[in-house]
Structure 1
Amino acid sequence: MKLNHKKLVQLFIAIIGLIFLVLLLIFAEQVGDSVRTGVEICLYTLIPSLFVFMALASFFVNSGLLNHVLSPFGWICGKLFHIPNHYGPLLFMSMIGGYPVGAKLIAEQIQQGKLSPQIGQRMLCYCVNSGPAFVIGSVALPLYQNRKLGFFLFFSNIAAFFVVGILTGIHQKAVQTPIQPKRQQIASTFVHSVLSSIKSMGSICGFVLIFSAVIGLLYDTGVMQSLVSLFGFFMDPNLAKGLLVGCLEVTNGTIACGDIPGITSILAVAGLTAFGGFSVHFQIKSILLPTGISMKPFYCYRLIYVLVSVIGVWALLQLTQTSVSTFAAATGVQGIWFSFSPVSSIFLILLSLLLLLSDRKSDIIK
């Protein structure tokens, strides 16, 4: 029987999957330790820095409460990116929220009929970036004990955000504003935003655990060490290890970059946080599944995004004459307690007051 290219790929994936299952049984104890590391990443890094902001970002975008406040930002982005101005809150929340926030907001807007899949696919190319809570609280402080380097990483991501946004908007014609569905009540919108964020966090944490197990298995079987030795002919072995691990899962990758000396460490971290890692990409894919959006344009522009981020960090280091001193990361995740954004806490308090003072009856809360 003649096999075509597609069937050969499926057969290869099936064989790799079977080998992986066998190795999981052989190295069950070691894989368990790796999964526990992934659990620590979820508990001490992802959930504190992401969940509250994701829920509030979803609420503010879906409720339209920030449309007037962020209208100048929407106007600027509309002129630069050639998208409707009222997407300003979505762009702003994506820019400061963290990797999956932008994808989640885009998916919700498409499902609600407020955003066309074509524009959403274009916006995905630049609405996926690392937020300040991650690059400062979970990368710069544990690795370098230097908050300023965290801001450098964040600003370089912002630069890449605008560069890719402008590039995707070139030669794009003015887009008609889509029909806005009936506005939901504030309380029901808030409840829906929290519930959908819980579901998204479950997906995000699930992929972190899977990729933590894969990385642990690669180490236990000696595959990772062999790959590091292979790439060690072309680069520093510590750099090779950081890049290999970071391409799979960004948090473990940035921890591994703690062993890289000098400025190379922060440049590697800049590239990894801009790329996001395949774990983040699968998280995005799971969120976008109901929309049917293709991620091919995302990958086409991600290389530009990474290059701009790395060049941006290098330029900031040269302009400010900032030295980089690495502090080798200990085994396991470097958890930062209460690494959420204070802005999220303020928004949550204001939102609670808004709900208490609202005189409109909710169709959910009676």
Structure 2
Amino acid sequence: MIKTMLHPLSITAYMATIIVALMIVFPNVTLDSALRGVSIWWEVLFPALFPFFVFSELMIGFGLVHFFGKILDPFMRPLFRLPGIGGFVITLGYISGYPVGARITAQLWDQGLLNRREGERLVAFTTSSDPIFLIGAVSIGFFHNSDLALVLAASHYSGAFLIGLLMRFHDIKAERLEQSQFSKATTSSISNYRQSKLYAALQAMHQARLMDGRPFSVILQQAIQSALRLMIVVGGLVVFFSVVLGLLTEGHILHMLIITLQHIFQWFGISGSAAEAIVPGLFEVTLGAQQSSLINLSLQHQAAIAVAILSWGGFSVHAQVASLLSHTPIRYMPFLISRIIHAILSVILLYILWGWLGPVA
């Protein structure tokens, strides 16, 4: 009986029932939270993500992904055990922020350019905050301290790079079965790179363009349609989690979670103030990062909590990534584990780098 009650589906059903009950009890909060979610989606996420979604579709259609794949293959395989096209995902993922890395990874899997193992490795360390949000919103907007941006960025993106190095050992047993073929392919790749790297890359791009065969007008139209469908999904998830967070706050459930975490922290000698930012940050990055700047702790500890929240991503981002990968065999669990490790590594790096890159007191 107890096992049935603790089954994941049963827990989800209970949580859904609680949320629906709260929606009935607090209809005004539901409406206000939904409007706030729509506002965030329309004013922030849509202009920030939509161009990148269209741009990634166009680059794949024109074969530019294959061009970068040829150029970067000799570097990506030794470092991350990924094909060269992974460099394209890393670049766009870090520039545009979550969940663009997951989106492009799913596109490359659809094209047959990645396998499941490579996709899981790639999503694990290309899901990060974009520099504009980290610098403009967090450092300047929330902390009112532009000098904080350097140490936040260094710890956050260095942590992501370390996750990439760690993930090269992900699913290593299956990799060893292909080790002999991998060694031959790598040797040949490096040889070709040294001889005529640009010609080989251009040739690969040209062949990919011929295989695609769609005219520019069709590629552009389908890219916009695909990007709009994806933005609707992202918007729906943002509104959903905005409503959930609003209801949990109004129903004092979030407050109960904060108090519980404060007691746990006290056992380990950690200030209970940290829970006031960590609990909202578990659900949503923006709210957690903002709250981290308001808690009664030193700037260094506030920044550590903020970078942990940025690296974790929030359940809202997790849901977006899971939705984008749902039609692929790429699993969510490696991504979840990587987010936890990324948060821990980023905090450690921030404390290490604070003396060199942190704001001057």
TM range (shorter): 0.7 to 0.9
Aligned amino acid, residue 284 of structure 2? E
Matches of 2:216 and 2:330 in 1, distance apart?
Answer: 29
Aligned amino acid, residue 163 of structure 2? V
- Determine if the alignment matches structure 1 residue 270 to structure 2 residue 269: no
- Determine if the alignment matches structure 1 residue 201 to structure 2 residue 225: no
Secondary structure of 2:327's counterpart equals helix
Q: Residue 160 of structure 1 contacts residue 309 of structure 1 at CA under 8 Å; is this kept in 2?
A: yes
Report deviation, 1:277.
0.6
Secondary structure of 1:190's counterpart equals helix
Q: Residue 99 of structure 2 contacts residue 321 of structure 2 at CA under 8 Å; is this kept in 1?
A: yes
- The equivalent residue for 2:249 is 219
Matches of 1:3 and 1:258 in 2, distance apart?
Answer: 41
- Determine if the alignment matches structure 1 residue 11 to structure 2 residue 10: yes
Distance 1:62 1:169, change over 3 A: farther
Matches of 1:22 and 1:286 in 2, distance apart?
Answer: 26
Matches of 1:223 and 1:84 in 2, distance apart?
Answer: 46
Secondary structure of 1:114's counterpart equals coil
Q: Residue 102 of structure 2 contacts residue 324 of structure 2 at CA under 8 Å; is this kept in 1?
A: yes
| Range that drifts further, 251-260 or 186-195 | 186-195
Report deviation, 1:110.
1.1
Matches of 1:28 and 1:91 in 2, distance apart?
Answer: 42
Q: Residue 75 of structure 1 contacts residue 88 of structure 1 at CA under 8 Å; is this kept in 2?
A: no
Secondary structure of 1:147's counterpart equals coil
Distance 1:231 1:123, change over 3 A: same
Distance 1:230 1:41, change over 3 A: same
Q: Residue 131 of structure 1 contacts residue 154 of structure 1 at CA under 8 Å; is this kept in 2?
A: no
Secondary structure of 1:259's counterpart equals coil
- The equivalent residue for 2:292 is 257
2:334 to 291, 297, 306: 297
Aligned amino acid, residue 254 of structure 1? A
- Determine if the alignment matches structure 1 residue 210 to structure 2 residue 240: yes
Aligned amino acid, residue 263 of structure 1? Q
Distance 1:96 1:166, change over 3 A: same
Matches of 1:315 and 1:11 in 2, distance apart?
Answer: 43
| Range that drifts further, 299-308 or 94-103 | 299-308
Runs of 5+ unmatched residues, structure 2: 190-203
- The equivalent residue for 1:245 is 280
With the length of structure 2 as denominator, give the TM-score of the two structures.
0.80
- The equivalent residue for 2:33 is 34
Matches of 2:109 and 2:339 in 1, distance apart?
Answer: 22
Secondary structure of 1:145's counterpart equals coil
| Range that drifts further, 271-280 or 116-125 | 116-125
Distance 1:11 1:90, change over 3 A: closer
- The equivalent residue for 1:308 is 345
Q: Deviations over 1:167-192 (max 9, x none)?
A: 22235442869996923444433333
Distance 1:244 1:3, change over 3 A: closer
Matches of 2:94 and 2:43 in 1, distance apart?
Answer: 22
- The equivalent residue for 1:121 is 120
Q: Deviations over 1:2-48 (max 9, x none)?
A: 68648844333323322221210110112222222222222332223
Q: Residue 114 of structure 1 contacts residue 180 of structure 1 at CA under 8 Å; is this kept in 2?
A: no
Matches of 1:168 and 1:271 in 2, distance apart?
Answer: 19
Q: Deviations over 1:230-284 (max 9, x none)?
A: 3233244442121000111111111211212321111111000101011100111
Superposition RMSD on alpha carbons, in Å?
Answer: 2.8
With the length of structure 1 as denominator, give the TM-score of the two structures.
0.79
Secondary structure of 1:83's counterpart equals coil
Q: Residue 95 of structure 1 contacts residue 161 of structure 1 at CA under 8 Å; is this kept in 2?
A: no
Q: Deviations over 1:128-156 (max 9, x none)?
A: 11111221222222112233433433332
Matches of 1:142 and 1:160 in 2, distance apart?
Answer: 23
- The equivalent residue for 2:139 is 140
Distance 1:295 1:158, change over 3 A: same
Q: Residue 99 of structure 1 contacts residue 129 of structure 1 at CA under 8 Å; is this kept in 2?
A: yes
Matches of 2:5 and 2:126 in 1, distance apart?
Answer: 32
Distance 1:7 1:287, change over 3 A: same
Query: Percentage identity across aligned positions?
Result: 26
- Determine if the alignment matches structure 1 residue 282 to structure 2 residue 319: yes
Q: Residue 263 of structure 1 contacts residue 323 of structure 1 at CA under 8 Å; is this kept in 2?
A: no
Distance 1:77 1:219, change over 3 A: same
Name the one with the larger helix percent.
2
Matches of 2:44 and 2:27 in 1, distance apart?
Answer: 25
Aligned amino acid, residue 129 of structure 2? S
Report deviation, 1:71.
5.8
Q: Residue 238 of structure 1 contacts residue 259 of structure 1 at CA under 8 Å; is this kept in 2?
A: no
Matches of 1:265 and 1:61 in 2, distance apart?
Answer: 41
Matches of 1:104 and 1:154 in 2, distance apart?
Answer: 23
Matches of 2:22 and 2:142 in 1, distance apart?
Answer: 32
Secondary structure of 1:138's counterpart equals helix
Distance 1:81 1:133, change over 3 A: same
Aligned amino acid, residue 94 of structure 1? G
Matches of 2:2 and 2:272 in 1, distance apart?
Answer: 39
After superposition, residues 142-181 of structure 1 pair within 5 angstroms as: 142-170=141-169, 171=172, 172=175, 173=179, 174=182
